[in-house]
Amino acid sequence: MPEETITLWRPVGPAELELIRQAGMKAFPPRLPEQPIFYPVTTEEYAIKIARDWNVRASRAGFVTRFEVRRDYLSQYAVQDAGGRAHREYWIPAEELEAFNRAIVGEIAVVQEYR
């Protein structure tokens, strides 16, 4: 029986996307010291807004990634409301990102690109 998964999205800039590519599109890179939490989001629309409005401004390009995470792994985290029903995300502590990456099923796909 296939594993039950939840589809998540993550907006990224070009530097983070390059690190994801270096990991074979299978893992997100470790957080920087000033990034204590990894924030995958629950809707493509929210990821698009961040990629288009923040990543493009900060680094001239923004990308939306889509990936599947095992439901049993995610069940230990509550979905957080980051400013309304349209802005929901998981808060994964940076020190738990390696375990999160192991819970990804399949590859991380780039589904949108903004410049």
Is pLDDT at 1 greater than 60 in this prediction?
Answer: no
Percent of the chain past pLDDT 90, that is, above it, reads 93
The Cα–Cα gap between 97 and 83 comes to 24
pLDDT at position 36 is 96
The pLDDT of 102-113, averaged and rounded, is 98
pLDDT at position 84 is 77
Cβ burial, residue 8 (10 Å; 0-12/13-18/19+): buried
Model confidence pLDDT, tens digit, residues 39-87: 999 999 999 999 999 999 999 999 999 999 999 999 999 999 988 778 9
Average model confidence (pLDDT) across the chain: 95
pLDDT at position 17 is 98
33: Cα within 13 Å, side-chain hemisphere: 0
The Cα–Cα gap between 1 and 26 comes to 22
pLDDT at position 2 is 63
Contacts of 49 (CB under 8 A, 6+ apart): none
The Cα–Cα gap between 113 and 111 comes to 7
The pLDDT of 35-39, averaged and rounded, is 96
